[in-house]
Amino acid sequence: MKRFSKTIFGFLTVIAVLGGGLQCLIWWGRSTPSHPKNLPTNAVWLRPPTVVFDFTRRGNWVGCSVESQNNRCVVTDARGNVEYDDLFLPIEGIGPVRKERLIYSVRNSGCLWVYLNLGKKNVPVIHLQDGTVLLPLEGYNELKNWLEKIGSNC
């Protein structure tokens, strides 16, 4: 009987350790990584839709600044490695969006990357909280036409 109790105790200990390790992985995968130094202070962490049993840090940092006639937006991975850096224009209106309006919408974070047929690659589409959509200069017309067809909500 004593041997049976030790076996059960050992089994429960292993289950508890594995469960605790799994909890740590889930917490780490869903936590916000530290803010990259190469991005403006208004940059935000955009987390894509949740995937079951994915314990990696998925998502992108997005930060935009104002340059003379455009906005420059930089998209990085969790470690701050630049994945996209280009000049952006609003889909409506002219000139750059003012700095105080560069507040990102996390509601559309699953719509960050769009495939560009012309360049045969994914490019970011930046959604701001006030409804403004910023498009990269690369493929601007193609993206604008596509978004006008489907609506700007991806």
Taking only the tens place, the pLDDT of each residue in 52-98 is 666 677 788 999 999 888 899 999 998 899 999 999 999 887 889 99
Domain with 89 in it:
44-150
Which structure tokens are listed for 122? 């994914």
Whether residue 5 has pLDDT greater than 90: no
Average pLDDT over residues 28-50: 76
Which structure tokens are listed for 118? 């012309």
Instruction: For residue 10, tell me if it sits in a domain.
Output: no
Comparing 152 with 107, which gets the higher pLDDT? 107
Model pLDDT, residue 87: 93
pTM of the model: 0.73
Q: Is 152 exposed, middle or buried (0-12, 13-18, 19+ CB in 10 A)?
A: middle
Whole-number average pLDDT of the chain: 79
Give the tens place of pLDDT for each residue, 109-146.
567 777 777 667 788 888 898 888 899 988 888 888 88
The count of structural domains within the chain is: 1
Instruction: For residue 145, tell me if it sits in a domain.
Output: yes
Instruction: For residue 50, tell me if it sits in a domain.
Output: yes
Residue type, 114: V
Whether residue 29 has pLDDT greater than 60: no
141-145-150-154 Cα dihedral, nearest 10 degrees: 0
CB 93 within 8 A of CB 131: no
Instruction: For residue 72, tell me if it sits in a domain.
Output: yes
In order, the DSSP letters of 70-103 are SEEEEEE-TT--EEEEEEEEESSSSSPPPGGG--
Instruction: For residue 107, tell me if it sits in a domain.
Output: yes
Model pLDDT, residue 139: 85
Q: Which residues contact 63 (CB under 8 A, 6 or more apart)?
A: 39, 40, 42, 43, 44, 73, 74
Whether residue 1 has pLDDT greater than 60: no
| Band (18; pLDDT cuts 50, 70, 90) | low
Which residue, chain included where needed, has tokens 């699953």?
Answer: 110
Whether residue 50 has pLDDT greater than 90: no
Model pLDDT, residue 52: 66
Model pLDDT, residue 84: 92
Instruction: For residue 98, tell me if it sits in a domain.
Output: yes
How far apart CA 25 and CA 29 sit, in angstroms, is: 6
Residue type, 152: S
